[in-house]
């Protein structure tokens, strides 16, 4: 399947993940990088699992019954914090679906540009854009370099159905938008935040060791 867009639908992974009306989905995360994605009636829709290698941070986007949809993989030694998405468990260039990168080399990672693999128009113009903060749960996904919103992140509120909001948030997916694609993008944002935290922790440990050695 090729990544596609048309006037009626925005689907990158598949039309089976598109609803003709807005939908709310709940994302339940944990510190290891696992996601469980459900509808508001707690039916599992998708899963995300880490599958890091020695050199790469990686995530697998899975169906509810654990069939692989996409492999999300960072590009090492990249100045723009690039990630690539491949069909299934592949990492071959021929199976590339989309890629992401930060627009600037030095920034606080509050913006991420998305480029489809099969685009034929200006390759310097992004097809989608993510803006906002993961920690504040304010990420919003836009169509191209425009103000047209296709999905928004919200903090989870406790309710009769939701006993605890810890580690959980909600995504509102606009009508005719591929929610599996949205979750793939959110998984990349989460993985980037996790690698930033790992780097900060490693730097703190290194500084503490230097101080201890010189004391």
CA dist 86 and 176 (Å) reads 23
What CATH code is assigned to 19-206? 2.40.160.200
Mean pLDDT score, 191-200: 59
pLDDT-derived band at 116 (thresholds 50, 70, 90) equals very high
What is the spatial distance between Cα 195 and Cα 197, in angstroms, rounded to a whole number? 5
pTM (2 decimals)?
0.83
In this structure, how many other beta carbons lie within 10 angstroms of the beta carbon of residue 182?
30
Reply yes or no on whether the pLDDT at 130 is more than 80.
yes
Tell me the C-alpha to C-alpha distance, in Å, between residue 41 and each of 38, 46, 51, 82, 132. 7, 14, 29, 35, 27
Query: How far is residue 155's CA from residue 161's CA, in Å, rounded to a whole number?
Result: 15
- Sign, CA torsion 175/145/1/72: negative
Lowest model confidence (mean pLDDT) among 51-60, 61-70, 93-102, 103-112: 103-112
Q: Per-domain residue ranges for the chain?
A: 19-206
Predicted confidence (pLDDT) per residue in 37-50, tens digit? 999 999 999 999 99
Sign of CA dihedral 64, 70, 71, 77: negative
Higher pLDDT, 72 or 159: 72
pLDDT value of residue 158: 65
């Amino acid at each position: 399947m090729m990544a596609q867009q048309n006037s009626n639908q925005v689907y990158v992974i598949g039309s089976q993940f598109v609803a003709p009306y807005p939908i709310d989905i709940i994302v339940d995360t944990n510190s290891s990088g696992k996601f469980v994605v459900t509808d508001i009636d707690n039916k599992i829709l998708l899963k995300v699992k880490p599958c890091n290698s020695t050199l790469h941070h990686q995530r697998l986007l899975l169906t509810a019954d654990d069939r692989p949809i996409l492999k999300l993989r960072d590009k090492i030694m990249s100045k723009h914090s690039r990630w690539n998405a491949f069909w299934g468990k592949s990492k071959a260039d021929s199976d590339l679906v989309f890629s992401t990168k930060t627009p600037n080399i030095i920034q606080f990672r509050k913006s991420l540009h998305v480029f489809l693999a099969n685009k034929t128009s200006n390759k310097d113009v992004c097809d989608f854009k993510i803006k906002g903060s993961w920690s504040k749960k304010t990420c919003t996904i836009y169509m191209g370099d425009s103000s047209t919103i296709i999905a928004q992140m919200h903090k989870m509120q406790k309710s009769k159905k939701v006993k605890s909001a810890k580690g959980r948030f909600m995504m509102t997916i606009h009508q005719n938008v591929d929610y599996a694609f949205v979750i793939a993008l959110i998984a990349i944002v989460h993985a980037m935040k996790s690698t930033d935290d790992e780097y900060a922790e490693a730097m703190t440990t290194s500084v503490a060791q230097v101080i201890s050695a010189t004391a």
